[in-house]
Amino acid sequence: MKTMHTLNWKPPILIGDDSGFFRQTRSSRAVGDLAQGVFNRSSYDIGKPGGASFVVNRVVSEACRPRAGRYLGGGGMQGFLALMEAINRAGSNRAGEDPGGADQSGSEGRNKLMIGYNGIKYDSKGQNTLAATLLVQLDGKKYVAVWPDNSAVHPPCPCPSKDGTDAMNTDLFEIISHHSFDAPVENRIRCPRR
């Protein structure tokens, strides 16, 4: 981002794929002003403020903070849910206990309260076929979930240019939105800047 700024150029759309320097906190402080509107692929989002996911994730994270010394991030929350799922499948949290008739076939947790967590079901190569993701966009100092639409706080917004106007070509933005959103246009929430 700094090199792009130095060379006086920024693409209309910039997408990071869980890129280290786009991550929250340290990077957003370092290049946040230059990176406004940048998209990133993420594995976790706390959800819409006030929503069930937001409340549950905040409670779990607050409960773990005294022991962990910090709030749980995406990896910690995913690990927590994976552990709960393993216990549920085993039917017990006692080590070495015979799982008996417990469900070992995998689960589909799409109704669970974790954004970016659809459950665990491994294929023959050990890949989780229920692995999920979401797209976030840097807005101020925070990333905001923008896709999939059922988890989005708001839809993708055009990247602001240096003069504060939307740099993204409107037609292109509509194409990207069309590719990104399954919901009918009339049912989508609008970008707050548009």
Partner 1 sequence: MRNTEYGTSTGNAIIAAASGKGLKIDTRIAYNANSSDVSAQVLQLKSADPDAVIFRQLYIRFRSCS
Q: Residues interacting with partner 1, by CB under 8 A?
A: 3-4, 6-7, 9, 11-20, 22, 169, 171-172, 175-176, 179
Residue linked to tokens 């469900």: 103
End-to-end CA distance of the chain: 25
Residue closer to partner 1 (CB basis): 15 or 113:
15
Choose between 19 and 92: whose C-beta lies nearer to partner 1: 19
Read off the amino acid at residue 24.
Q
Residue 180's Cβ-side half-sphere holds a number of Cα atoms within 13 Å equal to 25
**Would you say 47 or 155 has its CB closer to partner 1?**
155
Beta strands in 111-173 (DSSP E): 134-139, 142-147
158: exposed, middle or buried (C-beta count within 10 Å: 0-12, 13-18, 19+)?
buried
Cα separation of 184 and 39, whole Å? 22
Please report how close the Cβ of residue 16 comes to partner 1 at its closest, in angstroms. Answer: 5
The nearest distance, CB 87 to partner 1, in angstroms, is 33
Amino acid at 102: A
The minimum distance between CB 12 and partner 1, in angstroms, equals 6
- The least distance separating partner 1 from the CB of residue 180, rounded to whole angstroms, comes to 10
Q: Which is nearer to partner 1, 14 or 130 (CB)?
A: 14
